[in-house]
Amino acid sequence: MVIAGVGGQGTILTNAVLGRAVARSGLEVVTAETHGMAQRYGRITIHLRIGPEVHGALIPSGGADVLLGLEPLETLRSIECCSQRTLVLMNRQVVRPPSLALSWRAHYPSLEEIERRLQQVAGTVLSLEAHELARQAGTILATNAVMLGALCATAELPIPAELIRQALFEVVPAKAQEINRDAFEMGRAWAHLAQKSSCHQS
């Protein structure tokens, strides 16, 4: 799995939740983090490998089963990890990187362009307004909880969804547990509806 986002979105916390859940399941997990600019909104990419026996964290080109994108442009920047077997789950919240403010030549692609380019490579691309669902749950800071809920409902993970849910509650502050629980369930509900809609269209 590859997790792509920017600083301040909870990308590292998302990785921590998944790592804790995997450890509870008895499987092995190895991760590698890549950080861009050392500031808020800097690029963060995490490679996470799960299995009964894992050697090395870096995922080769086309080798990701899942690309979990918390920010559209960062999701697109990780397209090299995708293939027809890859599920891309992308939050549609745009966070413009500092580089765009520094260069008049910099261009942020439209969401439609990003989705189209991902669909050309990945097997399945699902995009959602996770930040808006999090806002409905109580705070936009729970966006990663929405994404984790959607992930549990769409990807064939080797770990039970309940372990991920429990790990989320252990990582977030006690006062934020109710909001994160609601956000997690809203993500799952969205994913179930998205899958039903996809089946009906096909």
What is the per-residue pLDDT across 124-139, written as a single tens digit (0 to 9) for each?
Answer: 999 999 999 999 999 9
Q: Token pair of 98, please?
A: 């500092």
Reduce the DSSP state of residue 91 to 3 states and report it.
strand
What is the per-residue pLDDT across 48-68, written as a single tens digit (0 to 9) for each?
Answer: 999 998 888 899 999 999 999
pTM, entire model = 0.91
- Distant-in-sequence, close-in-space partners of 108: CB < 8 Å, separation ≥ 6: 73, 94, 96, 100
Whole-number average pLDDT of the chain: 90
Alpha helices for 26-82 (secondary structure H) = 72-77
What is the per-residue pLDDT across 166-179, written as a single tens digit (0 to 9) for each?
Answer: 999 999 999 999 99
pLDDT of 202 above 50: no
pLDDT of 46 above 50: yes
pLDDT score at 54? 86
Reduce the DSSP state of residue 166 to 3 states and report it.
helix
Reduce the DSSP state of residue 173 to 3 states and report it.
coil
139-152 average pLDDT score? 97
Q: Produce one character per residue of 6-28: b if its CB has 16 or more CB atoms within 10 Å, e if not.
A: bbebbbbbbbbbbbbbbebbeee
* Domains of the chain from N-terminus onward: 2-201 (3.40.920.10)
pLDDT score at 38? 44
